[in-house]
Chain A
Amino acid sequence: METQQKILILDDDTDWLELSRELLSQLPSRPEVRTASTSRRALALLEAEPFRLLICDLKMPRMDGLQVLAIVRRRFPELRTIVLSGLEDEEFRSRAYALGVDLFWLKSDMQHHGKMFAECLESLLGSDHDTGFRGIQSKSLMDIIQMECLSRNSAVLRITRGPLVGRLWLQDGELIDAEAEGAHGETALRRILAWKAGTFENLPAEPNRKRTIQKSVNALLLESAQDQDENTNPTDPAAIEQAAHRKTVWKLALLTREGVDFVVGVPPEGEGEPESLGLGVQPAAPLAKWTRRAAEIARRLGEKLEAGPVSHISGQNLERQVLMLPRENKAFLIGWPTEAEGPLMEKSKKLIASWDS
């Protein structure tokens, strides 16, 4: 007879704890669900009783979820962990995965995709838990897809690169569909494969997904590898020019699609020329200079005020709104028309992530 699996939910919101307990108790495997509203209480429970799964919130007073997960990973390596958070910032997702959590879900997603969440939980609670190895991997996306296909898996791979999200549908070891940045099928796959780095999650298969990709995985991966090789290491001058032209056209299309006025990519002083698109006759150099100066002024002021790192600078005049986003090796200045609406910050982050791929 199978033993009843135990789940521990840690969240400082007691109403949410009660709601989650009720929902999870209804899972087909009927797990025993315990709750804790403080990190200390959760760690005490984990010491006292064997649990199969910990579902942990991130934003909590005193000790936050990431601290708890770091302790749990060290002290209870067998314990499966899920982060269930309301924080939509992709940075938290990356940090949680870097700590070795099995899944990261947003609370809003859990409410909208309850069935999928339940399936994920069931698969983590599954009886095959004593076999196999888990760990933090850093493999290329091509390797991951090949491994999934070679083992004839059926799953949905959710690939995240900063604010960009892509999905790959695998059915019995064949890649049947892909979706990313508004594109589908082979185009989406190529876009995803062009991303330099990110995280991936293995979600339950969707057997009823319509097939849009007919070619074999190996052929697609080979084509994509060849494309990337030609784009990154072109030797023929004509090929170099063609690749640069293709890149410019693609970036202009991206700008038009998003409704952006202009983008200026600014490398650190002395490390190359600024790259700009959409400025028309306006020279890029003064804007690049302002971007560098603004980043420096804000950084210095931030240090004096002890206000933490600069996230971004925004500004506006009668003609447009601008956003300056400092990144590790480059800063970006993005101009939006005044009438542009919606979450411009999120849109700008996505644009930069695509641009930089």
Chain B
Amino acid sequence: MGFLKKLFGRSRASVQQLPSGSLTVDRNGEVITSTVSSGYPKTLLREIGRAVLQLFRESRTAQMPLGEVSIHYASLRITARELRGGAIIFLFPLTAQTPTN
């Protein structure tokens, strides 16, 4: 029966949850430690790590080396601090009660 369900079961549209917690990534963007829910896709955590490291790297190229970067989205804030080539990253989903700034 499980087999039939797999074949004919309706796929439901799902809303992706926003990540919450913190993680550390090495200089290649690989996740070393994380407090983000284990249900959250690892590939997306790696994407976050790589994007953050890219921002740090390119800030150095622009002669404006940054030690901390925050990306503010409509529903999520990502704050990262550079850490020996890698980074520690904090993820804060924004709720209606969260101040916008």
Contacts and interface: CB of A to CB of B under 8 A. Distances in A.
A301 B71 contact: yes
B29 interface: no
A308 interface: yes
A311 B73 contact: yes
B47 A301 contact: yes
Given A301-B78, A307-B18, 11 more contacts: A89-B100, A287-B63, A290-B62, A298-B73, A301-B47, A302-B73, A304-B44, A307-B73, A311-B72, A311-B73, A315-B59
Contacts of B47: 301, 304-305
Given A345-B101, A346-B101, A307 B74 contact: yes
Interface string A287-327: 10110011001101110111111111111111000100000
Interface residues of B, number: 32
Given A59-B96, A282-B63, A297-B51, A310 B58 contact: no
Given A310-B71, A314-B72, A316-B68, A305 B62 contact: no
B37 interface: no
A316 B101 CA distance: 16
B38 interface: no
A280 interface: no
Contacts of A287: 62-64
Interface string B85-101: 00000000000100011
B21 interface: no
Contact of A316 (B44, B66, B75): B66
Interface residues of A, number: 33
16 contacts: A287-B64, A290-B62, A293-B58, A294-B55, A297-B51, A298-B51, A302-B71, A304-B44, A305-B44, A305-B47, A308-B76, A313-B55, A314-B69, A315-B59, A316-B68, A322-B64
Interface of A: 59, 89, 282, 286-287, 289-290, 293-294, 297-298, 300-302, 304-318, 322, 343, 345-346
A305 B74 contact: no
Interface string B32-70: 000000000000100110010011001101111111111
